[in-house]
Amino acid sequence: MIFDLIKNRRSVFPVQYNDRPIAKETIHQILEAANWAPTHKKTEPWRFKVFMGKKKEELGEFLSEKYQQVDPKPKQIKIKKLQDNPTRSAAVIAICMQRDPNESLPEWEELAATAMAVQNMWLCCTELGIGCYWSSPGLIKYMDEFFDLQEGEKCLGFLYMGNYNGEVETSTRTPIEEKVQWLD
């Protein structure tokens, strides 16, 4: 049931991934689910760049080197994490948003549509038993140095994906009643 799937969706981090690959066909299926996200004025602003194989290593190298260039006091643990997260993952998907060139709607609506596309992917990963995690490091503003972005396109982060062993933590939420005001 969709409610159970929503409640069971969790962040599963690259350090938890095993070395089992994810088939390209499965990633394509997950991306197809993203393509059915709601989109005001049908701008379909989501764009994705899928990194597999050697390209994951290159991404890790770029992120760790760029971090060392821009941070006056880089931390070794963060250098290692930026380097290792892509290679620990079966795939990394750069989450990008293509701004409507006519700006026919507010940018926040295109950001929201892209986030809904990512939520569709996350729910599919949950259903398929694939772990994933959306990371938005400050370094995303430099991604045009690593891959081509179209005019008006920006990188919003990375969806790290991988198979994992074991259980993921359960979570709780404060009751919805504390967040809703009924106006009759």
Q: Please enumerate, by residue number, every residue annotated as part of a binding site for FMN.
A: 9-11, 40, 134-136
Query: How many CA atoms lie less than 13 Å away from 35 in the CB half-sphere?
Result: 7
Sheet with 131-135: list strands edge to edge: 46-51, 91-98, 153-162, 131-135
Task: Name the helix (H) or strand (E) containing 127.
Answer: helix 107-128
Reduced DSSP (H G I as helix, E B as strand, rest coil) percent helix, strand, coil of the chain, to 5: 45, 15, 35
